[in-house]
Amino acid sequence: MGLEKIKLMSLYTDFRKDMSYIEKELERSVQSSSPIVRQASLHLLKAGGKRIRPIFVIMAAQFGTYSLENAAKIAVSLELIHMASLVHDDVIDDSDMRRGLETVKAKWNNRVAMYAGDFIFSRALTSIGNIEKAPVHQILAETMLEICKGEIIQIDFQQQTDQDLRDYLKRIKRKTALLLSSSCELGALSADADSQTVRKLKRYGYFTGMAFQIVDDILDITSTDAELGKPAGSDLLNGHITLPVLYIKDDEQFKPYMKRAFTGVMEESDRQAMLRYIRQSGAIEKAQHVSDLYLIKALKELESLPNGKSKKALTQIADFIGQRKY
């Protein structure tokens, strides 16, 4: 486990028992009569992850009448939806590595990845299907469709350099912020928290999610291949323009790098030179500033919520997101 993940996990200390229950539920959920489906699903599950969606559900549910059983159904569902989308994303991006491990599509093939992703998605619905509250399902369904729409737009925008900040923010809202926002909202709803609290937590999740994705996009450029578990600069190599790149895309000296990156194949030395160029351009600092602004907004949403271990942990997670290194 990386140092950063250990740091994040230390913020979950008060919820360790709950998270351990969720981890077991996640593993139980992806059991399958098909050995390949089981292996493919467990493969990704065992590779770990930050489990930020489940922890948001658990923490948000603390602001109402907490039931681990109910919160876990939602937490498991959201983490599985996230996992299913990763399995399909690796097909789209033709990625062979994720979290330092071979992807499902690399270990088996694209079709197995499609079926495994669809299987994991089905298990997500099985888990949340036991919550008989219509708004919960309507919110989740809407969120899923928006996430998908975001990805479709991302493909449509691939290699298009005439994008602006607004396009980028709309894209990352759908890509990441909405699911984190829904994690908080649904966690609070599962515990019948009052509507003001639900709204504040939803907004906290949204702002944190925006910051999380911006930092993710920064780390794609500033981290090493080993830290990322995939080649640094993958976003650009896949034709995706992220916030740091948005700031220098019109730089005449950078344009040739971008053009070559869009071919998807770059000499190693060229890729390193491109990453160095972005790092020293000032674009990283500008992007970091935008992320910080979102985190300030996120923390503001928490101010009027009752003090307690959950509020403390949510504050610390926001701080962690701003400072994480990979």
Give the Cβ contact number of residue 39 at 10 Å.
16
What angle do helix axes 309-323 and 52-61 make, rounded to 10 degrees?
150
Q: Which residues of 5-20 are buried (b: 16+ CB within 10 A; e: fewer)?
A: beebeebbebbeebbe
Binding positions for other proteins, rule: CB under 8 A? 32-37, 40, 85, 88, 91-92, 94, 108-112, 114-116, 118-119, 121-126, 128-130, 132, 134, 137-138, 140-142, 144-145, 148-149, 151-153, 155-156, 158
Residue with tokens 């271990």: 309
Between 146 and 292, name the residue whose CB sits nearer to other proteins.
146
Taking the C-alpha atoms of residue 98 and residue 44, their distance in angstroms, rounded to an integer, is 9
Query: CA-to-CA distance for 199 and 194, rounded, in angstroms?
Result: 9
For residues 133 and 324, which CB has a smaller minimum distance to other proteins in the complex?
A: 133
Nearer to other proteins, 47 or 114 (CB): 114
Q: Least CB distance from residue 71 to other proteins, whole Å?
A: 18
CB of 77 to other proteins, least distance (A): 10
Sign of CA dihedral 69, 75, 81, 83: negative
Which of the 8 DSSP states describes residue 102?
Answer: E
Phi, psi of 98 (to 5 degrees): -150, 135
**33/253 with CB nearer other proteins:** 33
Task: Closer to other proteins by CB, 118 or 194: give it.
Answer: 118
Smallest distance, Å, CB 303 to other proteins?
A: 33
Largest Cα–Cα distance of the chain, in whole Å?
A: 57
Cβ 317 to other proteins shortest distance, Å: 28
In whole angstroms, the minimum distance from the beta carbon of 5 to other proteins comes to 28
